[in-house]
Amino acid sequence: MKHRHILTYFFTLTFLIFTYQSILAQDSISDDEKRFDLDQNGELSQSEKELMVRIVRIENERDIQFSADEIQNMQNGRGDQPRRRGGNRRGAREPAGPRLDPEQVEFKDGAATIPDRETFKKLSYQGTDVRIDTQLSGLEFVKIQVERTNTQHPQLYFMNTKTHRSHGSFMNAAGLSRGQGQKRGVLVYRPLSTAPNGEHGVYTFEFNPNDAFPFEEIKQVHDLLVEKMPILKNRLGYCPLWGAIRLYRSEKAFYDKAEFPVYFEDDLYANIGYLPLNIAESFGRLQLLEEIERPSSRDIVLCKTLPNEMPRVSGIITGVRQTPLSHVNLRAIQDNVPNAFISDAWKKNSIASLIGKYVYYKVSHDGYEIREATQKEVESHFSNLRPNKLQKPDRDLTVKQIRKLENIEFTNSSSFGVKTANVATLRTFGFPDETIPDGFGVPFYFYHEFMKYNGFYETIDNLLNDSDFQDSLDVKKKELDQLRDEIKKGEMPDWMMDSLSVLQNSYANDTPLRCRSSTNNEDLPNFSGAGLYDSFTHHPNEGHLSKSIKQVYASLWNYRAFEARDFYRIDHFTSAMGVLIHPNYEDESANGVAVSDDVVYQTEGNYYFNTQVGEDLVTNPEETSIPEEILLDWWDSTNYRIVKESNLADSKRILTDKNLSELTYYLGAIHNNFNKLYSPTEMNKDFAMEIEYKIMEGGKIIIKQARPWVQ
């Protein structure tokens, strides 16, 4: 995954602190840790531990070690702390040669004009080596130098930004000295935003973060850029950074009448007409989802609204913006199929004219491609896509007893399912009481014995050998519906009923219990399985717990789960269902999903959060639900960007400063611990964790699930 070097440093270093049992649970501190014991009480407080994470990273980057006094100064805000943005640049060196006009500069150093997009690409840089300009990380940009702006003949230089990442380096090569009438800026391409002419892709120009220039000088640069790069016409806007905001506001009347728009940084994230959710390419028949009852694995679906669930398909286009952490997008990621939000897609002739036809569909960072495809292309694509051999997920039936989570380990996923094992493992990280659910795991052995007791394996075997079941989607859906009904009505052997009774009776009679699916073919590093199976709440008036357990068992055989396993040739008979059981949570004020990396906008050093109010799940949102999107700086939880506000929240923010601070801490610890568990020999720089969380009415954070982010 791109843009990960800061996160990698952070994760590697924080692992020194958050070991498997976590430093929170340790009774003593090492000699090195004593530097951070600022109150000298023999233990590290929460704030001291968080400070240690930050300081160790600085020490590693600079190959130094701070003394206890220096650390105390940092805690008090007087020490040597990293700067995220802004600041003055160092003076350029004396030029190495004579002053060159723009037309005299060699292409390896820069250019006087950019005639087309290809030339821009040749001059541009996109990556993480952006020095102090952290706002440019991951974006495609060409730096610019404007000379003699105080004369009648200003000069514009496009820097070859692959060669010169800094203006000082370019100035030395071009023989330019510092003086009056200079402006140093950058031209940025933003493919996700909609240009003034209605097309995808906006270019913005901006200057050093602490620079501020009056409107007439901004207009002068705008006109120069359009003159020297004609493709910018009706695609270029000005982006004032923090140093220019006050002057912009005082001159807003001029900008309101200008022929070019003004984009603020937050607008450039929120004003998106095209959002690539999963970069991939595929073939299939383009179908409008509302016109077909059930899509197949060979359909590329066009959705006017965001569906709450999705079987395996060949590609997805939604006409309303998706949440990147919805089950729909997680399915697209795990199935490696293209998925994009395209505003009013069904109204675009280039798309609408292809409905009902076989198409080639590609989603990239810069845009999408869709064209008519031949039957031969489609058949070749699908013949190469599916695995050649049957895949049998790990299933350990030797564990025959229900266990409390405290007695389940990370390595027990083959007996209880990954979800159960991961929640049990979360409980070992030393988080505050009630942060992680406490409950029980019902092993695969129970499911296996239940299926045998009722003869359901024989029923399934007959279905799989029925040609009508294999050839007809309607028959398959009907037979699977009937199978699930039979499973829900099935009988459990007495010993199983007794074991579940003991579990149920360990809670007060009025306790609703959440029964959550936990299989051996979901939440895996290479297969998410998000949204395939169902969980249920067992209410006190529903009688024996077996009712809800059987509902969870039946969900192993719903249509979307069956189709996903069938496509990937996952053995239906060795697939198994465990159940994670804990008290149901009520009175939640919000719920959300977060990933320990910015998996959407690919910015550097940020966590990505989706949150929505109440019980409107981010993973399965209502059709009109737009969750809050936040990019949160891993270093400083007070440094965040609200990419999009919730459309259901009364106030402008759902996650408070306290929430963000706590979630930053939890997410870092979860990432480091699971990275070591999943990659025991070394830290995996491409690794990320996804968590689901709830914010209760009193502000308490509950982390209900953690699984590897599927790349």
Higher pLDDT, 293 or 446: 446
Four-CA torsion 146, 151, 152, 154, nearest 10 degrees: -10
Highest-confidence range of 2-6, 107-111, 532-536, by mean pLDDT? 107-111
Quickly count: other Cβ atoms within 10 Å of residue 291's Cβ. 9
Integer Cα distance of 144 and 169 in angstroms: 12
Provide the pLDDT for residue 672: 80
Q: Which residues pair with 189 in a beta bridge?
A: 140, 203
To 5 degrees, how large is the angle CA 519–CA 593–CA 326?
Answer: 70
Higher local confidence (pLDDT), 190 or 550: 550
DSSP state of 475: H
Q: Is the pLDDT of residue 454 over 70?
A: yes
Mean pLDDT of 179-187: 90
Contact 323, 627 (CB under 8 A): yes
Query: Could you tell me if 598 and 606 are in contact, meaning their C-beta atoms sit under 8 angstroms apart?
Result: yes
Q: How far is CA 206 from the centre of its chain?
A: 27
SS3 468: helix
Backbone region of residue 368 per phi and psi (left: phi > 0; alpha: psi in -120 to 50; beta: other values) = beta
User: Which residues lie closer than 8 Å to 118 by C-beta, 6 or more apart?
Assistant: none
More confident site: 390 or 305: 390
Model confidence at 294: pLDDT above 80: no
Residue in the block written with tokens 């383009």: 286
Candidate ranges 133-147, 287-301, 457-471; pick with highest mean pLDDT: 457-471
Q: CB-based contacts of 107: which residues, under 8 Å, 6+ apart? A: 122, 160
More confident of the two residues 703 and 57: 703
Q: What is the pLDDT of residue 272?
A: 63
Q: How many Å apart are CA 486 and CA 480, to the nearest integer?
A: 10
- Predicted local confidence at residue 85, as pLDDT: 32
Mean pLDDT of 102-111: 96
Q: Name the β-bridge partners of 190.
A: 202
User: Residue 32 CA to chain centroid, in angstroms?
Assistant: 35
Tokens representing 641 are: 């960007």
The residue among 385, 382, 378, 348 whose CA lies nearest residue 285 is 378
Q: Give the torsion sign (CA, 559, 564, 570, 574).
A: negative
Distance CA 592, CA 577 (A): 25
Please give the Cα distance from 504 to 507 (Å, whole number).
6
In contact, 606 and 632? CB cutoff 8 Å: yes
Residue 552 has pLDDT above 90, yes or no: yes
On whether the pTM is more than 0.85, the answer is: no
Residues linked to residue 708 through DSSP beta bridges, in sequence order = 689
Lowest mean pLDDT among 17-31, 418-432, 471-485, 643-657: 17-31
| pLDDT value at 83 more than 70 | no
Q: List b or e across 47-83, with b for residues whose CB sees 16 or more CB atoms inside 10 angstroms.
A: ebbbbbbbbbbbeeeeeeebeeebbbebeeeeeeeee
Distances (CA, A) of 276 to 297, 326, 436, 449: 21, 14, 33, 45
pLDDT score at 535: 92
| Position 553 pLDDT exceeds 90 | yes
Query: CA–CA separation, 595 vs 288, rounded Å?
Result: 31
Q: pLDDT: is 188 or 83 the higher one? A: 188
For residues 45 and 67, give the distance between their C-alpha atoms in angstroms, rounded to a whole number.
Answer: 19
Q: Which residue has the higher pLDDT, 125 or 89?
A: 125
Least-confidence region, from 162-166, 303-307, 399-403, 554-558: 303-307
Q: pLDDT at residue 22 above 50?
A: no
Question: Given this model, what pLDDT does residue 654 score?
Answer: 92
Please choose, from the candidates 143, 168, 145, the residue with its C-alpha nearest in 3D space to the C-alpha of residue 156.
145
- Give the CA distances from residue 88 to residues 83, 85, 132, 176, in Å, rounded to whole numbers and listed in that order: 11, 10, 10, 19
Instruction: Using the CB atoms, write b or e for 244-276: b if 16+ within 10 Å.
Output: beebbeeeeeebeeeebbbbeeebbbbebbbbb
Task: Name the CA dihedral angle for 268, 274, 278, 282, rounded to a multiple of 10 degrees.
Answer: -160
Interatomic CA distance for residues 327 and 324, integer angstroms: 9
Q: Which residues pair with 281 in a beta bridge?
A: 362
For residue 250, the model assigns a pLDDT of: 93
The span from the CA of 654 to the CA of 108, in Å, is: 49
Give residues with Cβ within 8 angstroms of 153, minimum separation 6: none
Q: Taking residues 559-570, what's their average pLDDT?
A: 84
SS (H, E, C) 595-645: ECCCCCCCCCCEEEEEEEECCCCCCCCCCCCCCEEEEEECCCCCCEEEEEC
pLDDT computed for residue 96 by the predictor: 60
Q: Which residues contact 256 (CB under 8 A, 6 or more apart)?
A: none
The gap from C-alpha 180 to its chain's centroid, in whole angstroms, comes to 45
Mean pLDDT for 220-235 is: 95
Cβ–Cβ under 8 Å, residues 211 and 245: no
Query: What local confidence, expressed as pLDDT, does residue 38 receive?
Result: 84
pLDDT of residue 293 exceeding 80: no
Write the pLDDT tens digit of every residue in 410-437: 999 999 999 999 999 999 998 999 999 9
- Is the predicted pLDDT of residue 243 greater than 50, yes or no? yes
Alpha helices in 81-166 (DSSP H): 117-123
Q: Does the pLDDT value for residue 74 go beyond 90?
A: no
Is the model more confident about 627 or about 537?
537
Convert 466-477 to b/e letters by CB count within 10 Å (16 or more is b): eeeeeeeeeebb
Return mean pLDDT, the chain.
83
> What are 234's two structure tokens?
């009706």
List the one residue out of 679, 597, 605, 683 whose CA is nearest residue 16.
683
Answer yes or no: is pLDDT of 332 > 60: yes
Strand intervals (E) in 488-633:
513-519, 536-538, 577-583, 588-595, 606-613, 628-633
Report which residue type is found at 311.
Answer: P
Structure tokens at 65: 């070690």
User: Which of the two residues, 667 and 641, has the higher pLDDT score?
Assistant: 667
Listed range (120-129, 191-200, 353-362, 384-393) with the worst mean pLDDT: 191-200
Euclidean distance between CA atoms 562 and 11, whole angstroms: 37
Average the pLDDT over each of 130-139, 279-288, 292-301, 334-343 and give the range with the smallest value: 130-139
